[in-house]
Structure 1
Amino acid sequence: MPVGDGRGSARKVDRGRERPGCPVSRAADGTWQVHDYAVAREVLRGPGTVQAGLGIETVEKLPARIRRPVLYRDGPEHREHRRQTARFFTPRRVDEHYRALMVRIAEEQVARVREAGEAPLSELAFELSIGVVGEVIGLRRGRPGVRRRLERFFPEEFGEPGLTSARGLYWLVRQNANWLRVYLADVRPAVRAHRRHRCDDLISHLLDEGCSDAEILGECLTFAAAGMVTTREFICLAAWHLFTDDALLARYRAADEAERLAVLEELLRLEPVAARLRRRATAGLELRTPRGPVTVRPGEYVELFLDDTNTDPGAVGADPLRVDPDRVLDFGPGRAGLAGRTAAPARTSPSWRPMSSSAV
């Protein structure tokens, strides 16, 4: 049975716009904007685009000898990298290696709330995600204060580094200082320890691949963004839904693990933390629309609006803005739709703001 706020939409996040009527449109700067699920899936599956945005302009300026992090690699190289590291994230490995850790850290955060009477959920969720993802990566021996260092590295808003203005110089210095803090306090101690003694984690895998310290730093920050920051924000979002919807909360508490996962995937479908993906065309593309195909030329940009694609009635059925864990979907990658295939930093998603100030 669907649950929600009774207003036709259960969304908590205001992204500052209504869903457009056209499945494919073009922005004033020439960027093609995709709101249709089938078209977006075709773009992601096809070979004619590469990553754009997410700071790739800065990464492209790195020396050619430095291997790019997985987020900035495309095609067969990207798929092979994902294949090699997939073993760290399988359900079986989570059960055998990380579940006890998750339970311990979660219980520590609950004890903290009980003792103090209250605590910011974003901090509790970040401690959980840092502890678990840090174990997967191999960041176990850093100095205290990793949460603050990561928060500085992934601020609420990013500025554009440059040498032609005071603001540009500020962001250039800030960006490099944040890289250096994370490297000296977290990554370098971990790399030194792993050189002496390998472990079954990502840093050991990268060392075996012959990666330099700079390359390992890039991978660690990529996984920190994809694993720590987005996890924190999704925990807060899921809690917001559960704490403000008595029927959904009761169902979640009474459910077994499989049904709880269905609830969480439905929330992720409805409100993807990383709501937009940006791609650059490397070959001519044809995007299908009801009025016929439109052609994307090489070099042009395509922006996929996941908050729209995942609520496309043609893909998810009636009442796409309601929370319905029993929804019958035809999604290939999973119940979360295209959001289940993204690992982009949440802070790069524009207009992430609550509809009201009464969050969790």
Structure 2
Amino acid sequence: MTTTVENGCPFHDNVDRRKSAKVAEQHNHCEEGSHWVDKASVARKILCSKHARQAGASAEMLEYKNPEHAPVFFLDGKDHFNKRRKSQRFLSPKAVNDQHYKVMESVTKRLLDELQQNGSAKLEDISFQLAVEVVGEILGLTESNQQGKVRRIQWVLHSSISQAKNNMLSRAWLNAKRVFFTGLFFWFDVRPAIKARKKSPKDDAISTYIQEDYGNTAIIIECLTYGTAGMLTTREFIIMCAWYMLESPELAKEFLEGDSKKQLAILMEILRLEPIAAKVMRRVNDEVEGVEDQPLPPGERYEIDIRNVNLDEEFVGECPFAIDPERATKQKDTGRFYSFGDGPHGCPGWQVALHETRIFLTHFLQVPGIKLDREPDITWNDMLNGYELRNAMISCDKV
């Protein structure tokens, strides 16, 4: 993928091969009342501003009496900083190495053993199972049946991110399902975990919530917040990266032969081209220049077009459509670019998602006879502002 092409891109042919480009072009647009930002220099000012506030996912319409019990996604300023600092101990590179690595390895091996016994599977089922178990370990949701937990979480998340038809009956029905499935999730998964951690605390999130006197509702909210962020997005990330590598033996070879640093660089390059979240929203309480001819006044809402910002050559360098593992070094960047957002509300669990995907693909690509029998269907979820990949069928040699 990084060989020289004569009289062309020095890394690759720079052809746009993005899988999600078409569906994103159809659905990723600016909402009324917002300003569209597709330049990296302006996006950086907005995302990293001390006066930027979360403006997506109905954040501006929600209020909490106790900020300590509100999801970190919906907080700003000092409340946000304090809450994020507490959760970072579970999501840091040190936590990945010391705690989560073994879980990622063991769950991956078990799931791939099952794949080899069956000979085929849906990739979305495997990736979601992995994500649920890893996030479950981080949270402390370890006291219930794994298969049942996966189903219950899937029901809750699906009812939470599904869009009701524009009528009262449809909205009421969707809300009723959300309440019912959340109740099942609490009774069979969250409640047993709380009970166990009260007797014997561990180094996980639920033990921390109990120590800080979180109520049951606050704990459920935290679990579902991290569930959406850590399970749904990681599922799509794993599928997309696997798709790229299964269709390109050269890229798969480069990935498998590389050290962990190079493997992470390749994964971040795929994510740069195929960000799970196509845009993020912020409201900035200071003047912003560069979006329009005149500076915009404080209080305006901005939508950052992550997909196009990640192609801005002033930001990512030449040949933006090429997968270049050396790009981050040349651009003096971490390699994240804006795929995980940036600033105060950047994704706190990005290290977990990257290493989880890296570990899984390292073993997955070495499964004898592994191949993609059916490319995934690509759809769009307006509530998540991103693509979804479904029905990717994989097969391998049976054992």
Distance in 1, Cα, partners of 2:158 & 2:187: 20
The offset of 1:111, in angstroms, is 0.9
**3-state SS of the aligned residue for 2:23?**
coil
**3-state SS of the aligned residue for 2:15?**
coil
Distance in 1, Cα, partners of 2:393 & 2:305: 24
**Corresponding residue for residue 301 of structure 2:** 301
- 1:249-272 per-residue CA deviation (whole Å, 9 max, x = no partner) reads 110111111111111111122211
- 1:195-250 per-residue CA deviation (whole Å, 9 max, x = no partner) reads 11111111111112221111111111111111121111111111011111121111
**Corresponding residue for residue 72 of structure 1:** 74
**3-state SS of the aligned residue for 2:338?**
helix
**Residues 1:41 and 1:115: Cα distance change in structure 2 (over 3 Å):** same
**Corresponding residue for residue 310 of structure 2:** 310
Residue 294 of structure 1 aligns with an amino acid whose one-letter code is: P
Distance in 2, Cα, partners of 1:44 & 1:94: 26
Distance in 1, Cα, partners of 2:81 & 2:235: 26
**3-state SS of the aligned residue for 1:352?**
strand
The offset of 1:90, in angstroms, is 2.3
2:12 paired with 1:12: no
**3-state SS of the aligned residue for 1:337?**
coil
The offset of 1:160, in angstroms, is 5.0
Q: Percent of pairs identical after alignment? A: 27
Match of 1:177 among 172, 177, 180: 180
Q: Which moved more, 1:114-123 or 1:167-176?
A: 167-176
Q: Which moved more, 1:86-95 or 1:69-78?
A: 86-95
2:116 paired with 1:81: no
The offset of 1:306, in angstroms, is 1.1
Distance in 2, Cα, partners of 1:344 & 1:167: 34
**Corresponding residue for residue 360 of structure 2:** none
Distance in 2, Cα, partners of 1:81 & 1:65: 9
Residue 384 of structure 2 aligns with an amino acid whose one-letter code is: S
2:359 paired with 1:352: no
* Contact 2:277 2:386 (C-alpha < 8 Å) held by counterparts: no
TM normalised by structure 1 equals: 0.86
Matched pairs, number? 347
Distance in 1, Cα, partners of 2:171 & 2:255: 47
**Corresponding residue for residue 138 of structure 2:** 136
Distance in 2, Cα, partners of 1:48 & 1:275: 23
> Which structure 2 residue ranges, 5 or more long, are not aligned?
4-10, 350-379, 395-399
Distance in 2, Cα, partners of 1:138 & 1:161: 35
2:273 paired with 1:238: no
**3-state SS of the aligned residue for 1:287?**
coil
Distance in 1, Cα, partners of 2:241 & 2:20: 12
**Residues 1:65 and 1:266: Cα distance change in structure 2 (over 3 Å):** closer
Distance in 2, Cα, partners of 1:294 & 1:158: 37
2:173 paired with 1:154: no
Distance in 2, Cα, partners of 1:83 & 1:248: 37
Residue 250 of structure 2 aligns with an amino acid whose one-letter code is: A
Distance in 2, Cα, partners of 1:90 & 1:358: 31
* Contact 1:252 1:260 (C-alpha < 8 Å) held by counterparts: yes
Distance in 2, Cα, partners of 1:256 & 1:329: 18
**Residues 1:48 and 1:212: Cα distance change in structure 2 (over 3 Å):** same
**3-state SS of the aligned residue for 2:302?**
strand
TM normalised by structure 2 equals: 0.78
Residue 313 of structure 1 aligns with an amino acid whose one-letter code is: E
- Give 1:261-272 correspondences, 5 Å limit: 261-272=264-275
- Give 1:23-34 correspondences, 5 Å limit: 27=30, 29-34=32-37
Residue 19 of structure 2 aligns with an amino acid whose one-letter code is: K
Distance in 2, Cα, partners of 1:90 & 1:264: 18
The offset of 1:280, in angstroms, is 3.0
**3-state SS of the aligned residue for 1:222?**
helix
Distance in 1, Cα, partners of 2:67 & 2:100: 35
**3-state SS of the aligned residue for 2:33?**
coil
Residue 17 of structure 2 aligns with an amino acid whose one-letter code is: A
Distance in 2, Cα, partners of 1:358 & 1:104: 23
Residue 76 of structure 1 aligns with an amino acid whose one-letter code is: K
Q: Which moved more, 1:247-256 or 1:8-17?
A: 8-17
Match of 2:114 among 112, 115, 121: 112
Distance in 2, Cα, partners of 1:155 & 1:15: 24
- 1:258-294 per-residue CA deviation (whole Å, 9 max, x = no partner) reads 111111111122211122112234x2431324x6443
**3-state SS of the aligned residue for 2:303?**
strand
